[in-house]
Amino acid sequence: MRNWGGAALCGAALLVPQIVTAAPQRPDSLSFAVVAPHAVRRGEPVPIRLQLTNTGARTLNLYLTGRTITFDIIVARSDGQVVWRRLEHVTSQQIVQVKTLAPGEKFEMKDVWKATVDPGDYTLTGVIPTDGPPLRTMPTALRIRS
Amino acid sequence: MSRHSIAVRLLCGAAFVAVVACSESTSPTSKQPVAVLQAAHAPDLSTLARDVPGFGGLFLDHGVPTVYLTDPLQRGPLEHALGAFARGRGFAPSQIHVLAGRYAYGDLDRWFQRVSKEAFAQGGIVFVDLDEATNRVLVGVERGASHANVRSLAARLGVPAEAIVTRDVDPIQYAATLQDQVRPVVAGLQIHFGNFLCSIGFNAVSGGQNSFVTASHCTNTQGGVEGTQYFQSLSSQANSFIGTEVADPVYFRGGVCPRHRVCRYSDASRAAYAAGVSFTLGGIAQTSGPNNGSLTITGTFGVTSKGTAVVGDVVNKVGRTTGWTQGAVTNTCVNTGVSGTKIVQLCQTFVSAGVGGGDSGSDVFGLTGGTSVRLLGVLWGGNSGGTQFVYSPLNQVEQELGPLTVF
């Protein structure tokens, strides 16, 4: 698995001389999305990518967690019941990594989930812990066929 | 002082009284003045000083409008000038309490300005105030600083000695947080290295070397000494370099370590303080309370012993991200796999309490009474929900880093 990471943005600090703080997500300058197939057969691997993009004109410092950036993927049924969480029952190092994103820069985190669940409609949500409130993607739909 | 500045002085003075809790020992009534900030329309003191000869100051004494007059015959003009204010406070003008003042407000204001202009050039002056509640100029002097210097200054400036009151006070400082630069360095503060942020676990002396302990993964390379340089709280700040990594045992394979994994008994490392960096041995930053999310430092815990915890013990940690959190030990001696690595930390302790990214390296301790604490270990991990933290017990930290004097 290859991952890069991404998280809470702020006006700058360690790498550029601005204010250091874990600020709330700013939709106007940071895009966070989950990318996956719309449908797969039951039992097939589902490649899932989380994409974090600086859509603004200013460099962002993102306060992520982990020496290797920690990210979560949540798979839920259409009724909201979670069937898989990437970070379920894991212990992560509680270190902050300051990740700098230049204007227009994007980085991705990737994982693969094996769709060993009943056929039906599901949602995928990406989450990146920060040193403040986590960043979350909007859920994206995934259909598991028999 | 302009009319505006005089008017502002009433408000500021009242706020000062409220905030600093100035109890004026020389007050003729020996009662606590009440902040005038509640007044919808605070009187313009310069106007009062002009319209009421001998006016020496206005304040509320337990809610009662109270005025100093150097000339008691001026009660009539006073009631006229302050009638609306008194009625607004629920009192008739005749109920305004008049105290015998020694100095007119204009004189006090002139002396206040003279003293204020010069006093701060001396060391140890915290504030200068025209104290409306005492009819004096009040000078706050930092504890241990000279009051005599203030009196000498006043004499040199032609201010009557009796018009100046000095008082020992604590310095007034910006409220620091766990993420700010703080000296002396105590546990729980943010440290910065490379592009990472962690927390200080505790201060220690090892083999005569002044040190602090943090997590092993809060070094440039987890396991092995690379001379990681630490800054508190950020490298971009002046005078922020505090020390260099000197101890971080390598992870081992085999033996009790699970196959295809590397292990240690603690996620801990030690850094030597740089010369001249002040730190408090046994000091742990304290915030206003456990599990309230505050990062503002309100005091200091003091380590007075070392110990271990058992399941059910309530333990605490203070770290730069989630502050002071507290909860029960749920599991002990847990061999714990670290997400995203081949590392297994052997015989670790789980606690049901809040944690967040950046808390790695934090102190873990038990309260033993007052601000005394028993040091228990070093926090390094947590679950994804931020509701459970994992720490390395202190005995295992010392097993790997060597004996540590921690208080």
Evaluate whether residue A5 is within a structural domain: no
pLDDT attached to residue B143 = 85
Domain boundaries, chain B: 1-172, 185-401
Best mutation target, A2, A3, A94, A131, to test chain B (most B CBs within 10 A):
A94
pLDDT attached to residue A135 = 94
Of all residues in chain B, the one with the smallest CA distance to A21 is B179
Q: Containing domain of residue A55, as a range?
A: 30-145
Query: What is the architecture, at CATH level 2, of domain B1-172?
Result: 2-Layer Sandwich (3.30)
Look over chain A and give the mean of its residue pLDDT values, rounded to a whole number.
Answer: 84
pLDDT attached to residue A21 = 33
Q: Which domain CATH number covers A54?
A: 2.60.40.2360
Q: What is the DSSP letter of A4?
A: -
Counting the structural domains of chain A, the total is 1
pLDDT attached to residue B47 = 86
Chain A residues lying within 8 Å of B339, measured CB to CB: 66, 70, 87, 90-93
Task: Look at the pTM and tell me if it is higher than 0.80.
Answer: no
Of all residues in chain B, the one with the smallest CA distance to A74 is B384
Evaluate whether residue A62 is within a structural domain: yes
Omega prior to B184 cis, within 30 of 0: yes
Checking if the pLDDT of A65 tops 90, the result is yes
Best mutation target, A2, A4, A95, A111, to test chain B (most B CBs within 10 A):
A95
Residue A28: pLDDT band with limits 50, 70, 90: low
Evaluate whether residue A105 is within a structural domain: yes
- SS3 per-residue string spanning chain B: CCHHHHHHHHHHHHHHHHHHCCCCCCCCCCCCEECHHHCCCCCCHHHHHHHCCCEEEEEEECCEEEEEECCHHHHHHHHHHHHHHHHHCCCCHHHCEEEECCCCHHHHHHHHHHHHHHHCCCCCEEEEEEECCCCEEEEEEECCCCCHHHHHHHHHCCCCHHHEEEEEECCCCCCCECCCCCCCEEECCEEEECCEEEECCEEEEECCEEEEEECHHHCCCCCCCCCCEEECCCCCCCCCEEEEEEECCCCECCCCCCCCCEEECCCCEEEEECCCCCEEEEEEEECCCCCCCCCECCEEEEEEEECCCCCCCEEEEEECCCEEEEEEEEEEEEEEEECCCCEEEEEEEEEECCCCCCCCCCEEEEEEECCEEEEEEEEEEECCCCCCEEEEEHHHHHHHHCCCECC
User: Chain A 79-138, CB below 8 Å of chain B: which residues?
Assistant: 85, 87-100, 129-131
Of all residues in chain A, the one with the smallest CA distance to B222 is A67
Phi, psi for residue B161 in degrees, rounded to 5:
-55, -35
Distance CA A70, CA B403 (A): 34
pLDDT attached to residue A17 = 28
Q: Which fold has domain B185-401?
A: Thrombin, subunit H (2.40.10)
Instruction: With CB atoms and an 8 Å threshold, state whether B356 touches A94.
Output: yes
Q: What is the DSSP letter of A8?
A: B
Q: Which residues of B touch A (CB under 8 A)?
A: 179, 192, 195-198, 215, 217-218, 222, 234-236, 267, 319, 321, 336-341, 355-360, 379-384, 386, 389-390
- At A124-143, the pLDDT tens digits run 999 999 999 999 999 999 99
Q: Which residues of chain B have pLDDT under 70?
A: 1-41
Quote the tokens at residue B282: 């046994």
Checking if the pLDDT of A44 tops 60, the result is yes
Evaluate whether residue A23 is within a structural domain: no
- Nearest in space to B321 (alpha carbons), one of B185, B183, B189: B189
Chain A residues lying within 8 Å of B218, measured CB to CB: 95
